[in-house]
Amino acid sequence: MIKIAVQKSGRLYDESLKLLKECGLHVDNGMDQLKAEVRNFPAEVYFLRNSDIPQYLEDGVVDIAIIGENVLYEKNANVFVLEKLGFSKCRLSIALPKNDEYSGITSLEGKKIATSYPNTLQKYLNEKNVNAEIHLISGSVEIAPNIGLADAICDLVSSGSTLFKNGLEEKDILFRSEACIAANPKALEDKKEIIDEILFRVQSVLKARDHRYILFNIPNHQIKTVGKMLPVLKSPTVLPLLDEGWSSMHSVIHVDDFWKVIRGLKEHGAQGILVIPVQNMVI
């Protein structure tokens, strides 16, 4: 039995449960439940506060967790990051009122900085040999300069709209973060097989999200040329059509190549191009 922690409610909750579901884990979670059984896998899911997860993970109360890297770094948790998950991307940044002078972190020498991330900020200030006063706030950090509580803030930014609404400007990035799967070091040894199984499923789901299955009809004389344009896993599948002189080609492409490939296919006479999401990808 493996114990998996996810955030109880908040920004990581939906994507975490979606990922577990796509990995084939059916979580029986009801409202306000702290713990849920997984019906078809030897696992229990614990719904915890994001900020508490690093400690539970380090203490071995849970074996693995879906958590923001920023929280692990802040708590200096003795755990292993097994896989970055590509969601809840954000950055921990220094921001100042829009018209304030800033020519690097040394501009904050002797100033007051409000943050919920004192350890990460202190580490950064130490690296840069800057002495500044850290003012710890647990929420709504962005109002601190407006009410005279601090000269600058150090907070998470994703779209930047909160900073904008509060007349602040992002000046420096300390840390880039995204959701990840992290594990307790002892669980990695004791429950290696089951953790490997989860990781294998997660990786195949993540890979599939980045790829599309495409199929299209192509005149036979273009097969070789078009085949070279497809950045495929091995080699595209080619099947004859009933109509003489035409074939159907099938392939898997990375989303980053998508528009370039589609344009090329059309230029070479491809017709009836179908694009299908890939559910799982095992290479």
- 83's tokens: 């896989």
SS3 6: strand
Backbone angles phi, psi at 246, to 5 degrees: -125, 150
Query: Counting contacts by CB under 6 A, is residue 158 touching ligand PRT?
Result: yes
Residue 131: left if φ>0, alpha if ψ -120 to 50, beta else—which one? beta
User: Smallest distance from the beta carbon of 206 to ligand PRT, in angstroms?
Assistant: 17
Cβ-based nearer residue to ligand PRT, 113 or 270:
113
User: Smallest distance from the beta carbon of 247 to ligand PRT, in angstroms?
Assistant: 46
Q: What is the spatial distance between Cα 131 and Cα 75, in angstroms, rounded to a whole number?
A: 21
Query: Counting contacts by CB under 6 A, is residue 54 touching ligand PRT?
Result: no
From 47-55, 193-201, 216-224, 272-280, span contacting ligand PRT (CB under 6 A): 47-55
Neighbours of 167 (CB within 10 A): 14
| Sheet strand arrangement including 35-37 | 35-37, 43-48, 2-7, 64-68, 179-183, 80-84
Query: Counting contacts by CB under 6 A, is residue 270 touching ligand PRT?
Result: no
Query: Counting contacts by CB under 6 A, is residue 172 touching ligand PRT?
Result: no
Query: Counting contacts by CB under 6 A, is residue 51 touching ligand PRT?
Result: yes
Taking residues 215 to 244 in sequence order and writing x for each that binds ligand PRT by CB under 6 A, - otherwise, the string is ------------------------------
Q: Which residue is nearest to ligand PRT (CB)?
A: 68
Query: Counting contacts by CB under 6 A, is residue 88 touching ligand PRT?
Result: yes
User: Smallest distance from the beta carbon of 66 to ligand PRT, in angstroms?
Assistant: 10
User: Smallest distance from the beta carbon of 49 to ligand PRT, in angstroms?
Assistant: 4
Backbone angles phi, psi at 195, to 5 degrees: -70, -40
From 122-130, 159-167, 189-197, 265-273, span contacting ligand PRT (CB under 6 A): 159-167
Measured between alpha carbons, how far is residue 26 from residues 7, 23, 148, 238 in Å?
Answer: 17, 9, 49, 37
Reported as type and span, the H/E element at residue 194 is: helix 192-209
Q: What is the spatial distance between Cα 84 and Cα 66, in angstroms, rounded to a whole number?
A: 10
Based on its alpha-carbon atoms, the radius of gyration of the chain, rounded to whole angstroms, reads 25
Q: What is the spatial distance between Cα 148 and Cα 151, in angstroms, rounded to a whole number?
A: 7
DSSP code, position 100: S
Cβ-based nearer residue to ligand PRT, 12 or 187:
12
Strands 80-84, 179-183: pairing kind: antiparallel
Query: Counting contacts by CB under 6 A, is residue 94 touching ligand PRT?
Result: no
Neighbours of 144 (CB within 10 A): 22
Neighbours of 81 (CB within 10 A): 14
What residue type is assigned to position 64 of the chain? I
From 6-14, 29-37, 202-210, 235-243, span contacting ligand PRT (CB under 6 A): 6-14
Which of 2, 90, 195, 252 touches ligand PRT (CB under 6 A)?
90
Cβ-based nearer residue to ligand PRT, 103 or 159:
159
Cβ-based nearer residue to ligand PRT, 169 or 257:
169
Which of 34, 161, 193, 239 touches ligand PRT (CB under 6 A)?
161
Query: Counting contacts by CB under 6 A, is residue 93 touching ligand PRT?
Result: no
Q: Which residues bind ligand PRT (CB under 6 A)?
A: 7, 10-12, 49-51, 68, 70-71, 88, 90, 155-162, 177
